[in-house]
Amino acid sequence: GGQGNGGVTAIAELTISSLPLETRCAPFPLRQHGGFWLPETFLPGFEAARARFEPRPSDVLLASFPKSGTTWLKALAFATLNRAAYPPSGEGHPLRRRGPHDCVQFLESALVVSDDMFASLPPPRLLSTHLPYSLLPEGVKADSSGCRIVYICRDPKDVLVSWWLFTKKALGTQDGPTNGGNKPTLYTLEEELDLFCAGRSANGPYWRHVLEYWAESKRRPHKVLFLRYEEMTRETTSNVRKLAEFMGCPFSGEEEADGVPDAIVGLCSFDHLRSLEVNRNGVSDLNINNDSYYRKGVAGDWANYLSPEMAAQLDRLCHRWTVTQHEPP
């Protein structure tokens, strides 16, 4: 393994327990691999995906750094891609009965590890990942696979705050896997900031994650679509049109006249999804309460949590990385 991936060694050749470990970000211990800090629970699935996943030309992979709007993107892409089979205004729409994370599963989810992983899904398949671009299965990245990637990027200050509050909620429901059954204690927001700035957050460093996808979207715009959470909150419908076009299923004039794009936006809106029984009281296949994916759903809420100094620290860091490595995303 590992060939053609910039010298990154496949994890199967090592053992997970030999990889550098970060436990301060309870309840998700991280292991360092290929220059990133990956949640330990996803490593077996990551390895299985790299070994066995076979992309198809009609596949669409939704990629994101955690807390960047994954849930929303999953709902929008699912509703858009499957609108012929499931009209967005129909009462029987799958998103009214199942959470977005159960409608679109993670490539690296350990629960789907088997020989025929995803093979039984009918085309066009819609999958998701928090993996950085450089660690994706080689076949996914190959131009010849035809497989398309949609990335959603969000202001790191909102990502940081959203993640911190998410782990706080998750801590209430999970035991710490790596500390002998003791309930892990929550790190403070200040500690979270330091870890985040050291790249030690789930799938971090954040800036490298964003830049890899951004660079690829510039290099191969037909292959990688780069979306922004903030723009999507401002202009949701036009971003859904962009998404539909990129996925190869643009809205027809008739669909536009029938208000299909707006119906999709309404179905997937924060308020609507959050109000559904499945998202209020359901638990996802990942064993996470669905309601933890819906908090506030706005851009700029970081200002209620981060001091100006903390915000400046994060901005300086991400700016430094973006300007020294590439032009700003």
Active site residues: 130
- Which of 71, 73, 229 has the alpha carbon at shortest distance from 155? 229
Q: Closest separation between CB of residue 13 and ligand A3P, Å?
A: 31
Q: Note the residues at the interface with ligand A3P (CB under 6 A).
A: 64, 66-72, 158, 162, 165, 268-270, 273, 293-297, 301
DSSP code for 278 = H
Using DSSP's 3-state secondary structure scheme, residue 308 falls into helix
Cβ-Cβ contacts under 8 Å for 49 (sequence gap 6 or more): 107, 108, 117, 137
Residue at token pair 């536009």: 256
How many Cβ atoms are within 10 Å of 151's Cβ, its own excluded? 26
Residue 291: both structure tokens together: 């309601």
Residue 213: both structure tokens together: 């996808």
Find out whether 31 and 207 touch, Cβ atoms under 8 Å: no
Q: Closest separation between CB of residue 269 and ligand A3P, Å?
A: 6
Q: Closest separation between CB of residue 128 and ligand A3P, Å?
A: 10
Residue 24 vs 295, nearer CB to ligand A3P? 295
Find out whether 83 and 260 touch, Cβ atoms under 8 Å: yes
Residue 211: both structure tokens together: 């830049």
In the chain, what are the helix, strand and coil shares in percent, each to the nearest 5?
A: 50, 10, 40
Residue 75 vs 112, nearer CB to ligand A3P? 75
Residue 251 vs 293, nearer CB to ligand A3P? 293
Residue 11 vs 60, nearer CB to ligand A3P? 60
Residue 158 vs 216, nearer CB to ligand A3P? 158
C-alpha 90 chain-centroid distance: 27
